[in-house]
Each structure stands twice: as structure tokens, then as C-alpha cells.
Amino acid sequence: MRVVLQRVSQASVTIDDTVHGKIDQGFMLLVGFQDGDGQAELDYVTRKILNLRVFSDADGKMNLNIQQVGGAILSISQFTLYADTRHGNRPSFTDAGDPQMASKLYDAFNTQLAATGVVVATGEFGADMQVALVNDGPVTICYDTDHK
């Protein structure tokens, strides 16, 4: 499982000219899966995201997590996180997970995040989406469960 997390002051996803999900302060996540991912990967990444202390405290120090600041999450599925660009100029996506399995894991991941009380907006798995965001900081963190 791979997740690219960006701390945002706002983010939205549009599908067919309609805003499908929108948040203010929080995290925008790009989420990808590979075959073999399961509950252990979801648990690990969920814990890491919820406990990530990248929001400023009263002293301006990155010391608060998303729950402490009342932030929200915009979660976007993105199989291209598993692009293999080692050969040629056209990426291969054979390392990306089976779409049926990945769709179930994406739904489970979002449900697991929301169960903690954090507001979670989403894109639509497999849809052509336009994502807009204001990266706050900028702060960008990458998680890869193959490298924990």
C-alpha cells in the first residue's frame, strides 16, 4: 500500500464537472494498493496518518495531529502510485493491485479512517477525477507499507 499525504488548507475532487468531495484544513491522500495488501496494511497506514504530528501548536511547532486540529481527509484512489518507469518512457502498471481487490481495500480504508471520527471525503474509485488542493507548508509525506 502506498499513500502520498499532503497537508492542505483546502482540497476538492471533481468528477464530470460536479464536486464530489471537498475539505478545508486536513490531509489530501493519494492511495494505491498492490496484490497482497490487506488489513495489516490498512491498520498500519491508518495509525500512521492519524498520529502524524504536522499541524502547528500554539508555539508554531509541528506538534499536533489531525484529530487535535479538527481536520478532515480527502481520499483519492490512484493506481498510478505503482507505476514502473525503469524501462522506456511509457510506465507499466503491472505492480498495481487487481482493481476489484483494490476497490474493496479503498472502501475499507476510508471506512476505517471515518470510524475514528475524522470526516472523510472521497473521490470515486476508477473515475477520471480532477483534484485541486492548496498544499499547506508545503508538507508532503509518503507511506509505503513495503518500507515500514
Catalytic status, residue 79? yes
pLDDT, position 94: 87
Share of the chain above pLDDT 90, in %: 95
DSSP-assigned letters across all residues of the chain: -EEEEEEEEEEEEEETTEEEEEESSEEEEEEE--TT--HHHHHHHHHHHHH---EE-TTS-EEE-TTTTT-EEEEEE-GGGG-B-SSSSS-B-TTSPPHHHHHHHHHHHHHHHHTTT-EEEE--TT---EEEEEEEEEEEEEEEGGG-
Catalytic status, residue 33? no
Among 39, 67, 68, 80, which one carries the catalytic annotation?
80
- Read off the pLDDT of residues 17-40 as tens digits, 9 standing for 90 and up: 999 999 999 999 999 999 999 999
Catalytic status, residue 111? no
When pLDDT is cut at 50, 70 and 90, the band that residue 48 belongs to is very high
Among 27, 33, 55, 79, which one carries the catalytic annotation?
79
Question: Per CATH, which fold does 2-144 belong to?
Answer: D-tyrosyl-trna(Tyr) Deacylase; Chain: A; (3.50.80)
The whole model's pTM is what?
0.95
Among 6, 34, 78, 145, which one carries the catalytic annotation?
78
Query: Domain limits of the chain?
Result: 2-144
- Read off the pLDDT of residues 98-123 as tens digits, 9 standing for 90 and up: 999 999 999 999 999 999 999 999 99
